[in-house]
């Protein structure tokens, strides 16, 4: 009987989807037909019912194939709900009803989304109707998934499957604690890819509305996505070297399928490379406008990508009582009962789960997307400039990570004292604030042809580097893997204590760079050429200070038995010095632009004088 319902379900689902997609595609591509007739609506409803019934039959076949589920009367001892009763009939009905709702909502989503996005010429009333159906289908889809997954949750094995492997024995599944080997496809990577593709789609749609041409984002995506993955891995390896890689073979650095990508590094490098590609390859497009439209979509990609951590049982908070989290789906709570942090203690205590930080961050990322695109992008349009939403992305995500990092399970911290993630969060916030301030000042003063003001911004950016050493600036550990006694040092006691000559050199160089930036401001007002070279020198010196801070980490006069790790203060000093250098380069370019513009304006005047003389 289960096989019969399985076949019927597959026929109804595949047939309903095929006919629904065929008719929707034909209507969307037909430029003459502006509205769906009553007959087409009736056919669509039939296909939706077929999908709904088909999915219900699939879940029915699953229950019929497992009659032993009727005898599962309570949660096992390994469950977070150990000893609590299981309602078989309730789960049965919930799964079938969820399948029906999911099938109908899926069909409705496909039709309304396709017509809403790709049917350019359509009757206004039907356009509003399909737009409304699209927005309604999304919560219906989520509700359907929740119902059928809740109906099956009590009969699943945890941790959930996190990948598929192809070995000599054929297809095998794997969990967070087993890897059959062979060619392994991890859900972690698949979900990250899906998040990136969703970013591409959303960005492509926004660009199409202005330029009315598709495919403009594909080349940028091809360059930005690998750069983001590379940056995410490099940033993770650098920040977590002492805890995870220093005492292992080097090939483990490349095992990204086992986790180990930090969004803070990936997003920065992906956005940076994407912006450069947009500016210098797609020169016919407004790079700042494109960045403003596309960068906030990274939050949606991150919201999706965080679910890769769910399947890998990682990036959790501390263990807490399940009582405050019972409103979550059963399958999610059961998964949160298990962690990959410790093989000796893989589960939380009885009646406890690990706080799902990945879920909280996912929801906050979605909220941030809508805030930037519709709050900043539309409601504040009169007061914003190109680049504000890019800066807003860094500020929002930096704040989110800054708030969440202290709640993370210490086994998932980065660095010997979690300083790496917290410092990166601070840097994200400051980068965002600098971008917002810079685009406003840049547009205002460049319009007034007063680029000479810009070096003061770099000088102001260096000022905090004299305050940051007051924070813990260096952490040492007695063990190379970071598990020994951890000692934190304040920056100024290191700078003038005789043990850190390279740090002291960096400090002096950055101080000299600040003076040079201020001097260039005054020189530019009197002599453009001399001011240009003074500004160039300040930029180079500031960059050298950054390099000396980073190189000095392992080259100062500490005992060889100590593992040295840059902490808050010096990382922030290096970050701000580097930012001052970057903006110094921008100001150098603007100075050249204004100089060229001024020379172009003077040339006609000379010609006019010559003409009058003749």
Distance of CA 254 to the CA centre of its chain: 20
Q: Could you state, in order of their start, the residue ranges of all structural domains in the chain?
A: 2-155, 453-614
593: nearest Cα among 467, 493, 446: 446
- Sheet of 183-186: strand order equals 170-174, 163-167, 183-186
Secondary structure of residue 328 in the 3-state scheme:
coil
Secondary structure of residue 407 in the 3-state scheme:
helix
Residue 599's pLDDT is what? 63
Q: Between the CA of residue 538 and those of 298, 369, 503, 508, 510, what are the distances in Å?
A: 34, 37, 19, 13, 9
454: nearest Cα among 469, 471, 438: 438
Q: Which residues contact 293 (CB under 8 A, 6 or more apart)?
A: 203, 206, 207, 389
Residue position matching structure tokens 């956005």: 271
CB 365 within 8 A of CB 302: yes
C-alpha 358/C-alpha 303 separation (Å) is 9
Q: Count CB atoms within 10 A of the CB of residue 287.
A: 18
Mean pLDDT by 10 residues, the chain (614 residues): 91 94 87 84 92 95 93 90 92 95 94 83 87 91 95 90 71 56 76 90 86 81 86 76 65 69 80 82 81 91 89 82 91 87 67 90 94 88 87 92 78 61 80 84 68 76 88 76 73 87 93 92 81 88 91 78 77 85 78 63 46 40
| DSSP track, 349-378 | -TTEEE--HHHHHHHHHHHHHHIIIIIIII
Residue 174's pLDDT is what? 62
Token pair in block for residue 36: 């769906």
C-alpha 507/C-alpha 513 separation (Å) is 10
Residue 46's pLDDT is what? 93
C-alpha 523/C-alpha 456 separation (Å) is 12
Residue 11's pLDDT is what? 95
C-alpha 310/C-alpha 339 separation (Å) is 10
C-alpha 485/C-alpha 378 separation (Å) is 52
Token pair in block for residue 604: 């006609």
Q: Which residues contact 568 (CB under 8 A, 6 or more apart)?
A: 419, 422, 423, 426, 468, 471, 472, 473
The alpha-helical segments, DSSP class H, found in 281-356 are 287-294, 297-305, 307-311, 330-335
CB 476 within 8 A of CB 563: yes
CATH class in words for 453-614: mainly alpha
Instruction: Bin 415: left if φ > 0, else alpha if -120 < ψ < 50, else beta.
Output: left
562: nearest Cα among 477, 481, 468, 500: 477
Token pair in block for residue 480: 């190379």
Residue 123's pLDDT is what? 86
| DSSP track, 431-499 | HHHHHHHHHHHHHHHHHTT-GGGTHHHHHHHHGGGGTGGGSEEEEEESSTTS-S-EEEEEHHHHHTSSS
C-alpha 317/C-alpha 312 separation (Å) is 14
Distance of CA 453 to the CA centre of its chain: 35
The half-sphere exposure of 69 on its side-chain side, counting CA atoms within 13 A, is: 22
The half-sphere exposure of 277 on its side-chain side, counting CA atoms within 13 A, is: 18
CB 91 within 8 A of CB 154: yes
Residue 540's pLDDT is what? 93
Which contiguous run of DSSP H or E holds residue 593? Answer: helix 568-613
């Amino acid at each position: 009987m289960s096989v019969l319902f399985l076949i019927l379900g597959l026929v109804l689902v595949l047939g309903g989807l095929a006919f629904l997609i065929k008719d929707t595609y034909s209507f969307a591509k037909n430029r003459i037909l502006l509205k769906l007739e009553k007959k087409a609506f009736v056919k669509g409803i039939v296909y939706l019912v077929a999908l709904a019934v088909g999915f219900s039959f699939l879940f029915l076949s699953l229950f019929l194939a497992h009659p032993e589920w009727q005898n599962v009367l309570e949660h096992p001892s390994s469950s977070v709900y150990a000893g609590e009763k299981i309602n078989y009939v309730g789960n049965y009905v919930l799964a079938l009803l969820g399948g029906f709702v999911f099938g109908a909502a899926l069909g409705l989503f496909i039709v309304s989304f396709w017509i809403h996005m790709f049917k350019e010429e359509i009757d206004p009333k039907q356009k509003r109707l399909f737009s409304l159906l699209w927005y309604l289908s999304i919560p219906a889809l989520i509700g359907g998934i929740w119902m059928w997954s809740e109906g099956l949750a009590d009969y699943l094995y945890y941790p959930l499957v996190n990948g598929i492997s192809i070995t000599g024995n054929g297809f095998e599944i794997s969990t967070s604690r087993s890897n059959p080997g062979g060619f392994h496809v991890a859900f972690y990577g698949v979900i990250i890819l899906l998040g990136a593709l969703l970013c591409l789609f959303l960005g492509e749609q926004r660009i199409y509305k202005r330029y009315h041409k598709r495919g403009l984002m594909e080349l940028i995506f091809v360059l930005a996505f690998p750069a983001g993955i590379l940056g995410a891995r490099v940033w993770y390896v650098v920040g977590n070297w002492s805890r995870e890689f220093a005492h292992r073979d080097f090939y483990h650095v490349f095992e990204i399928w086992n986790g180990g990508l930090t969004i803070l590094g990936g997003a920065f490098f992906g956005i940076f490379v994407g912006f450069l590609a947009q500016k210098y390859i797609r020169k016919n497009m407004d790079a700042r406008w494109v960045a403003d439209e596309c960068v906030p979509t990274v939050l949606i990609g991150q919201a999706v990508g965080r679910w890769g951590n769910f399947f890998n049982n990682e990036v959790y908070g501390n263990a807490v009582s399940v009582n405050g989290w019972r409103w979550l789906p059963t399958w999610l709570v059961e998964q949160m009962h298990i962690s990959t942090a410790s093989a000796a203690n893989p589960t939380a205590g009885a009646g406890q789960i690990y706080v799902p930080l990945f879920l909280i961050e996912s929801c906050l990322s979605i909220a941030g997307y809508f805030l930037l695109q519709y709050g900043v992008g539309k409601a504040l349009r009169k007061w914003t400039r190109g680049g504000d939403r890019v800066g807003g992305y860094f500020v929002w995500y930096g704040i989110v990570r800054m708030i969440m990092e202290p709640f993370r399970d210490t086994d998932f911290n980065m660095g010997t004292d979690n300083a790496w993630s917290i410092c990166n969060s601070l840097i994200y916030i400051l980068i965002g604030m600098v971008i917002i301030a810079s685009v406003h000042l840049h547009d205002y003063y460049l319009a007034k042809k007063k680029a000479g003001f810009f070096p003061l911004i770099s000088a102001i950016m260096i000022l905090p580097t004299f305050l940051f050493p007051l924070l813990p600036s260096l952490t040492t550990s007695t063990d190379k893997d970071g598990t020994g006694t951890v000692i934190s040092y304040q920056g100024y006691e290191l700078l003038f204590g005789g043990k850190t000559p390279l740090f002291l050199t960096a400090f002096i160089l950055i101080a000299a760079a600040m003076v040079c930036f201020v001097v260039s401001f005054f020189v530019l007002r009197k002599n453009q050429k001399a001011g240009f070279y003074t500004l160039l020198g300040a930029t180079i010196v500031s960059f050298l200070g950054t390099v000396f801070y980073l190189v000095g980490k392992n080259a100062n006069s500490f005992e060889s038995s100590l593992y040295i790790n840059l902490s808050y203060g010096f990382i922030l000093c290096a970050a701000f010095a580097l930012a001052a250098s970057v903006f110094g380069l921008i100001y150098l370019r603007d100075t050249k632009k204004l100089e060229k513009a001024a020379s172009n304006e003077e040339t006609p005047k000379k010609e006019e004088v010559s003409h009058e003389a003749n």
